[in-house]
């Protein structure tokens, strides 16, 4: 019997050393209490071996003392582990103080017992194999010692029970295994003492309890919690999930997948619906992985599912299985389809709007072309002052109408993103003079002086879109003149250079007009909005000029600000970044008279009596107008009332240039131009200039790409027409003074 006990104790010692070695490699705040428990269990078992093989009562008493001190330490660390696990750190702190007193008491008592034998009354007994062993009789001090040990254990059991009771049912198994382990070890120890076995194995019960607690706390419970938490998380997902192992066995199906397709873990395979459909219908070149949207017909109608199939692998790239993750995107798909339909409708509406604006431009500009053209002939040829005054009024009204059409087209260009900025070198003084020339007649009618103040350090030549800047300045000057009855209008220009051969152009247009209230300033830059509509009913305008001006400036990375006071006037400030082409200072600004500011008699730019030009237009008035506009140039004019007539004339007569209207009954100007080119001969090589009332942004480039050599928009201005002819007619046939 003694040999059996010694052998089993040695095996226990080896197992304890192995457990200690393994646990010391684990990183966890709960590791140290368990390692210490096993170390003291090692000491306790070693003490039992000494007791079993010893033949001297003194040595047995010393071994018993070491054994019980080890039990004290094992109990302390076992309970400390429990208090830490249930989060009772304050109780652990109190227990640590109590335990220090207990260990001192037990140590002193046990050492005294070595001499007095007051705790352990040793007796001898004969075992079945004939050998003798020492047994102890329970003395009062022994039961006091056991009370000190078991009271904290009972407290720990109570705390575990309270935590178990208060926890949510899902988390109760976090405490139940610990409660069962501690309770079981206590019961085993009590049973052992009641049986009064000759050798003390109770320490192994404590070591076993420590190992079970550690296994539950660090492995079983966290994994169970993780699995249950993941299950609850995946069941709460709106996406469906099918999870498979490496042999394609289904190991998990979440709630969304079960509810959508009625699949479960037992019936789901790669060959079942809908997995087989997804795998076989995948467009992926690598069927092992794909992400795709599938359309499927369900009991309540067609559905769209976005399916993601992937393989799972660990950090060493070992295959762990695969999963299908799907989401019902029917509503998103319908929304996308609706958005696509809306986009297509918007695109069609935009095309229709563009066509409408192009047609409107043509239809309005065509009669204006005739009106202003014939009015130009009256201004040229009449000598009656009253008639000239009437004709000048017609010209002004026509210019206003053209400005209105131009503003509407500009707004359409900006909204469709077709307005472009074309930078080119320009002289700032010349630009300001042009603006002055365009607005000074209107100011002169109201006896309003226009004052120009330019800083002398303005660069001579800047790089920007001269026409767009002029449009903005003319808009601002015109507005100031319209809303100012007394005083003056002032334009100030200044320059703020930077270090990269560029700078900021500052222009301020001020007036002494009626002013704008604070709440009305925000309306200034809204399309079709006019402030004080009742008060300004007699002032012409559409409310487009300032809105267009601001958007043009923003396209050029500039801005505009307004400050105004009712009854005292307004200031419109422009801030416009501009590169410098020539940084030579422009010097003092000199206002020179121009043809636009002071009307002069018409004078033709050249004569070409030997030149021959064919004019093609389906409107007889336009043919008369073009003939009249070119009369003083002495060019030989031939007219054709349509495309077919022009083609026939070109077969019989050679020309130096053709002026071709675009919008005519079939064949239109484009088709007629192509057929004249295809017919060959002299006229196939001559310049053909398109005449059109289509003035939409980018249309000139479009006509040139079709094969025309030039572009003139209606109403045709004499200077533009003569400049085009002078450029394209044979040089030897053009006579200039």
pLDDT above 70 covers what percent of the chain?
Answer: 75
| pLDDT, tens digit, 9 for 90 and up, residues 229-283 | 777 778 888 888 888 888 888 888 888 888 888 887 777 888 888 888 888 877 7
Beta strands, E only, 35-157: 120-126, 132-138
- What's the CA gap between 63 and 43, in Å, rounded? 10
Pick from 17, 14, 11, 30: which is nearest to 212 by CA?
Answer: 30
| pLDDT, tens digit, 9 for 90 and up, residues 155-168 | 777 877 887 777 66
Question: How confident is the model at residue 275, as a pLDDT?
Answer: 85
For residues 39-50, average pLDDT: 77
Peptide bond into 517 cis (omega under 30): no
Superfamily of domain 2-231: Rhodopsin 7-helix transmembrane proteins (1.20.1070.10)
Question: How confident is the model at residue 482, as a pLDDT?
Answer: 86
Q: Which of the listed ranges 8-12, 35-39, 506-510 does the model predict with the highest average pLDDT? A: 506-510
Question: How confident is the model at residue 506, as a pLDDT?
Answer: 94
Confidence band for 150, pLDDT divided at 50, 70 and 90: confident
| pLDDT, tens digit, 9 for 90 and up, residues 684-735 | 999 999 988 776 666 788 899 999 999 998 878 888 898 999 999 998 998 8
- What's the CA gap between 79 and 510, in Å, rounded? 89
Pick from 635, 573, 570, 560: which is nearest to 604 by CA?
Answer: 635
- What's the CA gap between 604 and 322, in Å, rounded? 86
The DSSP secondary structure of 290-353, one letter per residue, reads EEEEEEEEETTEEEEEEEEEEEEE-TT--EEEEEEEEEE-HHHHHHHHHHHHHHHHHHHHHHHH
Mean pLDDT for the chain overall:
78
Determine phi and psi for 487, rounding to 5 degrees.
105, -130
Of 3.30.479.30, 3.30.450.20, 3.40.50.980, 3.30.70.920, the CATH number of 239-328 is 3.30.450.20
| pLDDT, tens digit, 9 for 90 and up, residues 173-190 | 667 777 777 777 777 777
Q: Tell me the sheet residues that pair with 501.
A: none
Determine phi and psi for 106, rounding to 5 degrees.
-65, -40
Confidence band for 225, pLDDT divided at 50, 70 and 90: low
Determine phi and psi for 565, rounding to 5 degrees.
-140, 130
Token duo for residue 306: 């976005």
- Sign, Cα dihedral of 93, 98, 101, 105: negative
- What's the CA gap between 605 and 723, in Å, rounded? 8
More confident residue, 317 or 639: 639
Confidence band for 669, pLDDT divided at 50, 70 and 90: very high
Pick from 570, 514, 513: which is nearest to 546 by CA?
Answer: 570
Classify domain 424-585 by CATH architecture. Answer: 2-Layer Sandwich (3.30)
Topology of the domain covering 612-733: Rossmann fold (3.40.50)
- What's the CA gap between 289 and 268, in Å, rounded? 19
Confidence band for 47, pLDDT divided at 50, 70 and 90: confident
Question: Does residue 619 have a pLDDT over 50?
Answer: yes
Pick from 307, 229, 225: which is nearest to 261 by CA?
Answer: 307
Question: Does residue 125 have a pLDDT over 70?
Answer: no
Pick from 445, 360, 465: which is nearest to 396 by CA?
Answer: 445
For residues 393-401, average pLDDT: 69
Q: Tell me the sheet residues that pair with 136.
A: 122
Peptide bond into 143 cis (omega under 30): no
More confident residue, 382 or 2: 382
Question: Does residue 494 have a pLDDT over 90?
Answer: yes
Question: How confident is the model at residue 193, as a pLDDT?
Answer: 66
- What's the CA gap between 308 and 290, in Å, rounded? 6
| pLDDT, tens digit, 9 for 90 and up, residues 513-559 | 888 887 777 777 765 455 554 454 444 444 567 887 888 888 899 99
For residues 388-399, average pLDDT: 72
Question: Does residue 616 have a pLDDT over 90?
Answer: yes
Token duo for residue 60: 């047995």
Question: Does residue 489 have a pLDDT over 90?
Answer: yes
pTM exceeds 0.85, yes or no: no
Question: How confident is the model at residue 176, as a pLDDT?
Answer: 73
Question: Does residue 565 have a pLDDT over 70?
Answer: yes
Question: How confident is the model at residue 597, as a pLDDT?
Answer: 38
> Mean pLDDT lowest for which of 192-201, 398-407, 617-626, 698-707?
192-201
For residues 654-680, average pLDDT: 91
Show me where the domains of the chain are located: 2-231, 239-328, 424-585, 612-733
pLDDT above 90 covers what percent of the chain?
Answer: 17
Determine phi and psi for 718, rounding to 5 degrees.
-55, -45
Q: Tell me the sheet residues that pair with 504.
A: 496, 577
């Amino acid at each position: 019997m003694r040999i059996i006990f010694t052998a089993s104790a040695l095996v226990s010692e080896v197992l304890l050393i192995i457990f200690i070695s393994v646990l010391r490699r684990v990183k966890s705040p709960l590791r140290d209490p368990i390692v210490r428990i096993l170390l003291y269990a090692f000491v306790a078992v070693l003490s039992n071996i000494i007791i079993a093989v010893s033949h001297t009562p003194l040595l047995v008493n010393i071994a018993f003392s070491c054994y019980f001190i080890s039990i004290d330490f094992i109990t302390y660390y076992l309970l400390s582990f429990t208090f830490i696990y249930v989060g009772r750190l304050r109780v652990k702190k109190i227990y640590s103080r109590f335990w220090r007193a207990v260990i001192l008491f037990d140590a002193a008592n046990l050492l005294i017992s070595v001499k007095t034998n007051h705790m352990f009354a040793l007796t001898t007994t004969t075992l079945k194999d004939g050998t003798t062993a020492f047994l102890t009789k329970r003395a009062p001090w022994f039961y006091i010692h056991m009370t000190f040990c078991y009271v904290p254990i009972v407290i720990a059991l109570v705390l575990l029970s309270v935590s178990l009771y208060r926890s949510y049912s899902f988390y109760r198994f976090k405490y139940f295994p610990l409660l069962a382990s501690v309770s079981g070890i206590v019961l085993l120890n009590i049973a052992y003492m009641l049986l009064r076995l000759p050798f003390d194995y109770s320490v192994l019960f404590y070591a076993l309890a420590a190992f079970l607690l550690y296994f539950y706390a660090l492995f079983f419970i966290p994994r169970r919690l993780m699995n249950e938490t993941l299950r609850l998380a995946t069941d709460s997902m709106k996406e469906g999930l099918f999870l498979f192992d490496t042999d394609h066995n289904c190991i998990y199906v979440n709630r969304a997948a079960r509810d959508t397709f009625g699949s479960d873990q037992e019936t789901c395979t790669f060959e079942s619906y809908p997995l087989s459909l997804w795998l076989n219908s995948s467009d992926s070149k690598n069927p092992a992985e794909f992400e795709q949207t599938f359309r499927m017909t369900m009991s309540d109608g067609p559905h769209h599912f976005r399916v993601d199939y992937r393989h799972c692998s660990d950090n060493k790239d070992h295959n762990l299985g695969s999963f299908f993750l799907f989401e019902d995107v029917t509503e998103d798909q319908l929304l996308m389809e609706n958005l696509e339909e809306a986009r297509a409708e918007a695109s069609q509406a935009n095309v229709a709007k563009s066509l409408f604006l192009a047609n409107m431009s043509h239809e309005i500009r065509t009669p204006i072309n005739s009106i202003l053209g014939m009015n130009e002939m009256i201004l040229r040829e009449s000598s009656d002052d009253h008639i000239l005054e009437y004709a000048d009024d017609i010209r002004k009204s026509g210019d206003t109408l053209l400005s209105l059409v131009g503003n509407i087209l500009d707004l359409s260009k900006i909204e469709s993103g077709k307005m472009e900025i074309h930078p080119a070198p320009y002289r700032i003084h010349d630009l300001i003079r042009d603006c002055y020339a365009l607005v000074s007649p209107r100011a002169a009618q109201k006896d309003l002086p226009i004052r120009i103040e330019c800083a002398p350090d303005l660069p001579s030549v800047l790089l920007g879109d001269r026409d767009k800047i002029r449009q903005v300045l003319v808009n601002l000057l015109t507005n100031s003149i319209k809303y100012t009855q007394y005083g003056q209008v002032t334009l100030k220009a200044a320059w703020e250079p930077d270090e990269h051969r560029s700078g900021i152009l500052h222009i301020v247009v001020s007036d002494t007009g009626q002013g704008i209230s604070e709440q009305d300033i925000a309306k200034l830059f809204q399309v079709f909005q006019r402030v004080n509509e009742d008060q300004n009913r007699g002032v012409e305008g559409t409310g487009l000029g300032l809105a267009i001006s601001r958007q043009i400036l923003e396209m050029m990375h500039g801005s505009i600000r307004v400050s105004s006071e009712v009854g005292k006037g307004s200031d419109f400030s422009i801030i416009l970044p501009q590169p410098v082409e020539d940084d030579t200072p422009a010097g003092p600004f000199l206002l020179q008279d121009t043809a636009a500011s002071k009307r002069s008699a018409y004078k033709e730019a050249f004569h070409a009596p030997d030149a021959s030009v064919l004019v093609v237009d389906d409107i007889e008035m336009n043919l008369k107008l073009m003939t009249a506009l070119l009369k003083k140039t002495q060019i030989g004019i031939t007219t054709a009332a349509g495309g077919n007539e022009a083609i026939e004339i070109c077969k019989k007569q050679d020309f130096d240039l053709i002026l071709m209207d675009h919008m005519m009954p079939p064949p239109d100007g484009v088709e007629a131009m192509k057929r004249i080119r295809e017919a060959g001969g002299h006229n196939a090589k001559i310049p053909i200039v398109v005449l059109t009332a289509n003035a939409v942004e980018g249309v000139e480039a479009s006509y040139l790409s079709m094969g025309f050599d030039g572009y003139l928009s209606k109403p045709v201005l004499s200077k533009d027409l003569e400049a085009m002819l002078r450029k394209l007619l044979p040089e030897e046939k053009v006579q200039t003074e």
